[in-house]
Structure 1
């Protein structure tokens, strides 16, 4: 009888429910959370996913170029891209040269009262 009286006391019962209910509720709250991977940055290959933006691009950000990781590496400078209704900076990077080609950097050109992105690309010399 003493055991039943101890287990079912209101204070003990509340403490037992709290130790079970709180972690369960916290876990259920996280069930709807999704951690999506960040899509890889596109460095000028392919057409941009937007047509014309009505906001002019900001000035380019300053980037520390540093030393080339290997002889002949070419620095591809960063650029402003348009993602979810705002400009997002895409960092520059080192790239292996392509014989017979030169790099044309990404740029924004005025068009019809807005701005159109022209992705960076390799062009034949």
Structure 2
């Protein structure tokens, strides 16, 4: 291998690795629609479960309409608070914000 090619590889390989590692694992396709979700359903929250946080049910867009996703238990992340997913209105559009842990 030529010295210049070796130097290029030595400089570019770490940059490529950093770019790959710094990509968020939770990245997903953004959902934007113009049809408001139905009213939130009332769910009975089960008795508290140690080591878990309740993730309430929500409406998921299925391409042609909404489908209800029932609530479920989410394993707790230490020193963090669960922020449930929700729909946000911006003008005529509705955006889905995925649930996540806040530290």
Q: Assess same fold via TM > 0.5.
A: yes
Higher strand share: 2
Matches of 1:59 and 1:76, distance apart in 2: 17
Displacement of 1:82: 0.2
Aligned length: 78
The answer on 1:120 being equivalent to 2:95 is no
Pairing 1:71–2:50 present:
yes
Structure with higher Rg: it is 1
1:56 match: 36
Which runs of no fewer than 5 residues in structure 1 stay unpaired?
1-44
For the pair 1:84 / 2:68, whether they are aligned, the reply is no
Aligned-CA RMSD value: 1.8
Q: Which runs of 5+ in 2 are unaligned?
A: 1-25
Stretches of 4+ aligned residues off by more than 4 angstroms: none
What's the TM-score, normalizing by structure 1? 0.55
